Amino acid sequence: MENSPQTAVLYNANCPVCNFEIQQYAQYAGDKGLPIRFDDLNAEIGQEWGLDADMAARRLYVLHDGTLASGIPAFLLLWSQMPKYRWLAKVVGLPVIRQIASVVYDFILAPLIYRWHLRRLRKQSAHRHPH
């Protein structure tokens, strides 16, 4: 897959785990001049993606050449656009590994990170609106 100016990533910058990981990719892409755009879902950008904030916070989304992917397929698209990570896209893209990675991401990691996100939102709301 060649680099494409049609690649964009939607992520939750308020999530420490998500933000840390995506900032690594954004730094690399910026340093290498790769045509990848990184959109924070908290910047009211989700509507441009056709996703509400809650849906967008549940997993990683990548838009590449007009196709929207989420979860492991989104990571594979993102990694394949960055030379440093292409090996990871190839390994995780192998049939058995892709299936295992998808199950782990879809049923363990993404839900845990999303619940952590909801907990942070409740705490932030409680601090803003004390009873």
- Residue 122 in 3-state DSSP? helix
- Provide the 8-state DSSP code for 84: G
Q: Model's pTM, two decimal places?
A: 0.88
Is residue 42 within 8 A of residue 31, CB to CB? The reply is no
Ramachandran bin of 16, using left for φ above 0, alpha for ψ from -120 to 50, beta for the remaining angles: alpha
Q: Domain ranges in the chain?
A: 7-128
Listed residue (86, 61, 63) closest to 71, CA to CA? 61
For 12-29, how does the pLDDT look when each residue is reduced to its tens digit (9 = 90+)? 998 888 999 999 999 999
| Band of residue 105 on the pLDDT scale cut at 50, 70, 90 | very high
As a whole number of angstroms, the distance between CA 39 and CA 41 comes to 6
